[in-house]
Amino acid sequence: MSVTLITGAATGIGNVTARRLAGDGHTVYASMRDPAGRDADHAAELRDLAVRDGVDLRVVELDVTGERSAEAAVATILDDAGRLDVVVHNAGHLCVGYVEAFTPEDIEDLFDVNAIGAHRVNRAVLPHMRERRAGTLLYVGSTIGVTTPPFLGPYVASKVAFDALAVVTSYETNPFGIETTIVMPGAITQGTQHFPNAGRAGDTAVAQAYAMLDPLVARNEAATESLFVPGVEPSPVPVADEIARILALPFGDKPMRSVVDFTDSGVEEVNEIARQTREGFVTRMGFGELLRPRRE
């Protein structure tokens, strides 16, 4: 069983995944920004579950927007457990609005959480994984970089950046025996606070200029729900199940990508074409050895 760090585990996918992996026997560090303050109730629920179910589920403070916070969280885990096998990069924030109305500062803040945050955590954990020549980086990405719906522009851009960093980082960590998987959920409207807690564009004057589109934005969540395949539950549970399945696979068998899509949007087909193109290009460059993790 692995020692696993999950970012953004107060609610949603991260929270459900923490519960699932702990139930499977992993030692899980569920991280959240403020477990002693605004996240105190969520932290208490996980600690109570650990006692009640007899699982090794621990809470650690980690704000992915702070380098010192990431370093401190990883140091705590290494002091406690002696190793860190898996990082589940899950922390993220949704913003809804018109692209022009987002100030540069709005977009900087969103990228800071959704893309740069994972990089900060990687910088804290990769020295340990490289030294051990083992580890797994599992990124909770999104199908949104393929489907690209309206009124979510900065969020789409941040998730694409998150995905690209994951791919290129994998080239450089594969030679050290560090595996990478990107799990790409489709839209989720149950069991998460993504839509209710979504941020908004900061330039209200520009947003007002787009007022004629407000009725479309107002039905954005309902429009998303209309895409769901009948009989599926668009909740974090299937995503947590897929993460658990992948982490149980032996070294070398973990997929680079896995899609958990409730809208049947054809993302797998696009991914396969992109994979062939990317791998062919990298191989033609003479860097094909970087495409797969290897263990000496």
Active site residues: 155
Antiparallel, parallel or unpaired: β 95-96 and 178-185: unpaired
Strand partners, 139: 89, 182
- Parallel, antiparallel, or unpaired for β 86-89 and 3-6? parallel
Q: How far is CA 60 from CA 31, 206, 289, in A?
A: 5, 40, 36
Dihedral sign for Cα 50, 127, 164, 166, please. negative
Q: Cα–Cα distance between 8 and 24 in angstroms, integer?
A: 20
- 146: buried, middle or exposed (CB in 10 Å: 19+, 13-18, 0-12)? buried
Hey, what amino acid is at 95? C
CA 256, 22, 28, 234 dihedral sign is positive
Q: Cα(first)–Cα(last) distance of the chain, in Å?
A: 22
Contact 57/19 with Cβ under 8 angstroms? Answer: yes
Q: Round to whole Å and give the CA distance between 81 and 240.
A: 23
CB 156 within 8 A of CB 148: yes
On whether the CB atoms of residues 278 and 158 are closer than 8 A, the answer is: no
